[in-house]
Amino acid sequence: PGSRPGMTKVDRVKAVTVYSVYEPASEASDIALRAEGLQFVKEGFSWPAFLVPALWLIYCRMWIELVLFIVIFGALQWALGLDKPGHDVLGWILVALFALFAFEANDLRGGALERRGYRLIGVAEGRGRTDAELSFFKTWLPLQKTQARSERSPERQAERQRDSDTKRPTTLGEGEGVIGLFPQA
């Protein structure tokens, strides 16, 4: 049911990739510039982080993580790489740690973006990055246009003026910083 002639089993099963979408803290002047500044971070295993972890960290500008990576792997090489059996053990440990790093790499990238002032604004999904971006922008762009119209209304301008006169709270309110039942780390 629902299959066309010539479709393989792989075609019928849609492999969906999920991306977390981050926006920089700085406000861009128009929607196109805001859209260009968005970062899509894939959830799950990262092949580039597994195959070339140091280069991946440099490419993502994750300097703190790069320093920690070099220190940890340098210390492991120094501790285990003194003799032949140590080299064998070191090789297996490195493969296991590269795999572990590849599973956590995109989460680390999200954390690095948040440290730089980005905020999570949504989740996108699709068969690939392009499909995920298209599905995200189909819902995000109309919302931005309606917000822009409401921001220009005279009532909204008066409300903004009143809001700027009052002091904003600096503590998190109830439910902020909480995802599901767990607080954000």
- Residue 172: strand, helix, or coil: coil
Pairing of strands 119-126, 39-42: unpaired
pLDDT at residue number 173: 46
Query: What is the predicted pLDDT for the residue at 78?
Result: 83
CA 28 to CA 50: how far, in whole Å? 34
Q: Calculate what percentage of the chain has a pLDDT beyond 70.
A: 70
Reported as type and span, the H/E element at residue 142 is: helix 129-152
pLDDT in tens, 80-102: 766 677 777 888 888 999 999 99
pLDDT at 170 over 50: no
The pTM of this model reads 0.68
Q: What pLDDT, in 10s, does the model give residues 118-161?
A: 999 999 999 999 999 999 999 998 888 777 666 665 554 555 55
